[in-house]
Structure 1
Amino acid sequence: MKAIILSDFGGPSQLRVEEVPTPVAGPHDVLVQVEAAGVCHHDLLHRAGKLAGAPKGVILGHEVAGRVVATGAAVSTLQVGDRITGYQRRFCGQCRDCLRGRQDLCRAVSLPAVDTEGAYAQYIRLPAVSAIRIPDNVSFQQAALASCPIGTAMRALISQAGLTAGETVLVNGASGGLGVHQIQIARALGAHVIAVTGDNAKASRLEELGASSVVVARDGNYSAEVWNKTGKKGVDVAMENLGSTLPQTLRATGMGGRIVVLGNIAPGAVEVSPGLLIGRRLRVQGSGSATLDEVSQSLAMIASGLVRPQIDRVMPFTQAAQAHALLEARQVNGRIILSGW
C-alpha cells in the first residue's frame, strides 16, 4: 500500500510517499481503508522530533475515518463495509480505568504513529473495540475529527471543567483545531465565549462560530483585555490550548476559576505564581483524549448539527508535506483533511 513515511526528524520535506506492506488484521482487529485523516499539531511535533519516545521511520496520523475491508476471526461487532472512525488510543480493556470507561487513562496504552501504524496511509489496522460506527448523515471527513479534536474538546469543557450555562469561558488558540470546536460546544452549552487569536483576519470567523467576543493578541498578551471585558471579574473557565501562554490565562481567570491545559505547542517550562493560584482559588488540570463514550457523543453532536467540523481544506495524501507547512505557518482555520491519492 501507499503510505506517508517520516523518513527522519525535521521539516515537512521529511514526509515521503513510500510503498509498504499492507497490515493484516489479527483475530481481534479490523482492516480499514482510510478515507480521511486529519492533520493535527501533534503530528508536527512528532515530525520535528519534539515528542519524547516517538520514533522516526513510521506512518504519522491519529485522526482517521474509513471503511472496514476485512475483519479478524474473533470480531463479531463489525462487518465488511461498515463506516467507522478510529479511537485515537489503544487500550487494554481490562484494567480498572478501562472497566470504568476511562480508556484515556489506561497504562497499557499505545498510540498510532508511535507504537502502531498511523493514518497517513491507504489502510490502517485497528482493534475492533477502537472502531466506532459513523452515523449515516456524517461524512468520512467530518468523522475523522470526532475523536481528536472534537472529542478532546468535549472532555475538556464538560467532563473536566464542568462548564455550565451562563458561565464565561476563555478559548485561546481559538482558530486552531481545538479552539474552533470548543467555541461551538461552549455555545451549545449556553456559555459565553471569549476567543483569543493572533490574527485579526480570523476574528470574524470566530464570531460566526459563536464567540461572544474576540481578542486579537499578536504578541500573546491578552489577560488585561480579557479582564476588562469581564468587568474585571475574570472568566469562569479557560481552555489553555497553547501551553506557553498559561501565565496569561491564569491572570485572565477569576475567583474559583477552572483552567484546563490541553496544548503544549512549544514544549518547555512556564512560570506560575503560587500566590495567584492560592489567592484566586484556581484549579488547574491537564486533559487529553476523550473516552470511547465521549467520541460517540461527539459523533452525535455532529449528526445533530450542534457541532460543525471545521475543515479548512482537503488535500491528497501526497501533499502531506504541504499540509504540514501550512499548519506550521498558521495559515489554517480548523483542520486540514488528507483524502485520496
Structure 2
Amino acid sequence: MEAVMLHERGAAGPRLTRIDKPPRPEDGVLVRMLAASVNRVDLYMRDSGVGITHELPLVMGVDGMGEVLETAPDSAFKPGDRVILYPYDFCGRCRYCLAGDQPLCLRARIFGEHVDGTFTEIMAAPERALVRLSPAVDIHRAATLGVAYLTAWRMIFGKMATGPGRIVFIQGAGGGVAYAAMQLARMAGARVIVSTSGEEKLAHFRDLGVEAVDYRDGDMVKQVLVLTDGEGADLVIDNVGEKTWGSSLRVMARGGHLATCGATTGAHPSADIQRLFVRQLSIHGSTMGSLEEFRRLVRAFETGAFVPPIDSTYPLAEVPAAFARLEETNRMGKIVISIAEPEGTA
C-alpha cells in the first residue's frame, strides 16, 4: 500500500512511500481511506514540527474519512461502514476525558502530528476515534470537517455560544477555520461581519450576503464600528495572531469575547490590558472540540445545514502540490486529497 510520509523537514520531505499494511489495533479497526484534506498544521509539520513529540518518518494528514475494512468481532462497526475520523486519539481515562472534554486529554495524540495520519490507503485507528457517517454525503466535503470545522464549532457554540441577535466579527475569513466559523455563525442565526482582502474575496462574501471589510484598509476598525452603530462585535474570531490582534480588540463590544485558535503572524501581541478591564473583555483559546461536539457537527453537515466549499482536489501522489496550493493567497475553500472510490462505485 502507499502513503505520503514525512521523511525530513522541508518541501522535499513529504514523499509517496510504499509501506506495509498496518495491523489492526486490539482496540481499533482498519479503515480504507477514501479522502482527506490538508491544513496549516501539515505545513507546520513539514517545515518545523517544533513542540510536537513525534519521530520521522511519519504518515502525514489530520483530517480524513473512509470505509471500515476490518474490525474486532465485538465492534460497533462492520466492514463497509462509512466513518469519519475524530482527529484525537484520546485515552478515555483521565479526568478531562471522563468529563467529555477530549481535547484536554493528558495523553492525547493527534493523527498526522504525534502518530501516523490520514494520507494513506489503509489506516489503523482506535474505534473510539471514529464517528459513523451517512453514505449519502459527499465524501470530499466530509473529509474537511475534522480540524477546521470542529475548531470553528467550539469557538461559535462553546464558551460564548452565539445565535440570533449576536454580532460575530471574523478576521481573515478566506482561511479554512475562519471560513468555517463564518458558515457556522450564519447557521446559528448571528449577524456576521468578516475581514478579508482583494476585490474578488470581498465580492465573494458580499454575494453570500455577508458584510465584508478589507483588512488592508487603515479605517477597517472604524468601518466595523459604523456597521454596528458604534457597538462593536459580541464575538470576535481571530486565528491570525499578532498582526490582527490590536484591531480585534478594538472592534469588540463592551463585555465582548474573543476566541483565538492560531497565531500564524506571531504569538506575542500587545495585551492592551487597560482595554481588557475597562471594557470587561474576555479572551479564550480554543483548539478543535470534544467528541460530542464532533458528533453534532457531523449531524449538522449531514442535514445540509452548511456545505464546505472545495477549492481543489489532488490525488494522493500529489500531496506536495496540494501543500503549494494551500500557501497561495487566492485560495478559497478547502483542499482535498482524493485517495480511493467508495466500494461499489462504477
Distance (whole Å) between structure 1 residues aligned to residue 118 and residue 176 of structure 2: 17
Contact 2:62 2:113 in 1 (8 A): no
Contact 1:313 1:337 in 2 (8 A): yes
Q: CA deviation at 1:114?
A: 2.4
- Deviations along 1:281-338, one digit per CA (max 9) or x if unpaired, are 1000000111111111111111111111121111111111111111112232121000
Q: Call closer, same or farther: CA 1:217–1:206 in 2, change over 3 Å.
A: same
Q: Call closer, same or farther: CA 1:135–1:210 in 2, change over 3 Å.
A: farther
Contact 1:184 1:209 in 2 (8 A): no
Q: Which residue of 2 aligns with 1:6?
A: 6
Q: CA deviation at 1:108?
A: 1.0
Contact 1:176 1:334 in 2 (8 A): yes
Distance (whole Å) between structure 2 residues aligned to residue 201 and residue 288 of structure 1: 30
Q: Which residue of 1 aligns with 2:16?
A: 17
Q: Which residue of 2 aligns with 1:281?
A: 280
Distance (whole Å) between structure 2 residues aligned to residue 160 and residue 22 of structure 1: 42
1:314 counterpart = 2:313: yes
Distance (whole Å) between structure 1 residues aligned to residue 81 and residue 110 of structure 2: 23
Q: Which residue of 2 aligns with 1:59?
A: 59
Contact 1:147 1:298 in 2 (8 A): no
Contact 2:237 2:258 in 1 (8 A): yes
User: Superposed, which structure 2 residues align to 1:130-209 within 5 Å?
Assistant: 130-209=129-208
Q: CA deviation at 1:221?
A: 7.4
1:71 counterpart = 2:34: no
Q: Which residue of 2 aligns with 1:229?
A: 227
Q: Which residue of 2 aligns with 1:31?
A: 30
Distance (whole Å) between structure 2 residues aligned to residue 10 and residue 251 of structure 1: 38
Contact 2:144 2:336 in 1 (8 A): no
Q: Call closer, same or farther: CA 1:241–1:79 in 2, change over 3 Å.
A: same
Distance (whole Å) between structure 1 residues aligned to residue 2 and residue 109 of structure 2: 23
- Deviations along 1:79-123, one digit per CA (max 9) or x if unpaired, are 111100000011111222212211111111011122211111111
Contact 1:221 1:248 in 2 (8 A): no
Contact 1:197 1:215 in 2 (8 A): yes
The total of aligned residue pairs comes to 338
Q: Which residue of 2 aligns with 1:269?
A: 268
Q: Call closer, same or farther: CA 1:230–1:193 in 2, change over 3 Å.
A: same
> 1:161 is aligned with what amino acid?
M
Unaligned runs of 5+ in 1: none
Q: Call closer, same or farther: CA 1:10–1:300 in 2, change over 3 Å.
A: same
Contact 2:120 2:339 in 1 (8 A): no
Distance (whole Å) between structure 1 residues aligned to residue 324 and residue 62 of structure 2: 18
Q: CA deviation at 1:210?
A: 4.6
Q: Which residue of 2 aligns with 1:243?
A: 241
TM-score normalized by the length of structure 1: 0.94
Q: CA deviation at 1:267?
A: 4.4
Q: Call closer, same or farther: CA 1:6–1:219 in 2, change over 3 Å.
A: farther
- Deviations along 1:3-54, one digit per CA (max 9) or x if unpaired, are 112222123x322111122211111111111111110111111111054235
Q: Call closer, same or farther: CA 1:58–1:221 in 2, change over 3 Å.
A: farther
> 2:71 is aligned with what amino acid?
T
Q: Which residue of 1 aligns with 2:344?
A: none
Q: Call closer, same or farther: CA 1:6–1:222 in 2, change over 3 Å.
A: farther
Contact 1:170 1:238 in 2 (8 A): yes
Contact 1:169 1:194 in 2 (8 A): yes
Q: Which residue of 2 aligns with 1:124?
A: 123
Distance (whole Å) between structure 1 residues aligned to residue 218 and residue 92 of structure 2: 41
Contact 1:199 1:217 in 2 (8 A): no
Distance (whole Å) between structure 2 residues aligned to residue 2 and residue 208 of structure 1: 42
Contact 1:178 1:334 in 2 (8 A): no
Distance (whole Å) between structure 1 residues aligned to residue 218 and residue 306 of structure 2: 28
Unaligned runs of 5+ in 2: 341-346
Contact 2:182 2:192 in 1 (8 A): yes
Contact 1:33 1:122 in 2 (8 A): yes
User: Superposed, which structure 2 residues align to 1:38-117 within 5 Å?
Assistant: 38-55=37-54, 56-72=56-72, 75-117=74-116
Distance (whole Å) between structure 1 residues aligned to residue 151 and residue 216 of structure 2: 26
Q: Call closer, same or farther: CA 1:231–1:130 in 2, change over 3 Å.
A: same
TM-score normalized by the length of structure 2: 0.92
